[in-house]
Amino acid sequence: MADGEFPRHRVPLSFLREAERIICCDGATIAAIENGFEPEYIVGDLDSLTPDLQNRYRHCLHRNNDCEINDLTKTVNFCIERNWSEITIVGATGKREDHSIGNISLLGDYAERAKIQMITDYGVFVPIFKSAHFESFAKQQISIFSLTPDTLFTFTGLKYPLTKQTISKWWQGTLNEALGNEFYVEMNCGKALIFRNH
């Protein structure tokens, strides 16, 4: 759980309720507690925690003062180091658009080492490195972002198909729509982010 806006939609909340364990970036700890969730681990530079909270959770604090990476990356690395290879991130957007964009952009890096997704109040981001099928529903809103400008994409099962074309600008793969219960994104190489709304 990152320190953006605490989720309100039932989908991210259900992931929190059913999580095997909840690991908080240090700044997310207060929101987690206020909303009835107990962190199993708290990771970061811990500068957002009051002395009382640091004392209360001293058994599960994991300090990382590396200034070259953000607390979300510290927390994802903490999970991967423990071989927790299926990671769902919530609370990573909202409050500040620059932080939201930064957190979303990191998914491509994290996905090289873990199966990862980011769930917001509006939908789910999934990074991919190869062609993939996705479950969907008719009229579900879909956006596809290329993280590598030379990647050739082919879309099938979407209202606006694409055949062996690049997506050189962020907006070019947005505002698409699923035609039915699945769609297919074919790519020859590189990285991409797929967004599906709830």
What pLDDT score was predicted for residue 67?
A: 87
pTM greater than 0.85:
yes
Residue 136, burial from CB neighbour count under 10 angstroms (0-12, 13-18, 19+): buried
Q: Where are the domains of the chain?
A: 10-122, 129-197
Per-residue burial over 63-80, b = 16 or more CB atoms within 10 Å of its CB, e = otherwise: ebeeeeebbbbbbbbbbe
pLDDT in tens, 47-89: 888 899 999 999 999 999 998 989 999 999 999 999 998 999 9
Looking at domain 129-197, its CATH architecture is Sandwich (2.60)
The length of the chain in residues reads 198
- Superfamily the domain 10-122 falls into: Thiamin pyrophosphokinase, catalytic domain (3.40.50.10240)
pLDDT digits (tens, 9 = 90+) for 161-177: 999 999 999 899 999 99
Q: What is the model's pLDDT at position 48?
A: 86
Q: With bands split at pLDDT 50, 70 and 90, how would you rate the model's confidence at 21? A: very high
Asked if the model's pLDDT at residue 112 lies above 90, the reply is no
- At 47 the pLDDT is 86
Nearest CA among 23, 121, 158, 168 for reference residue 81: 23
In tens, the pLDDT along 142-167 reads: 999 999 999 999 999 999 999 999 99
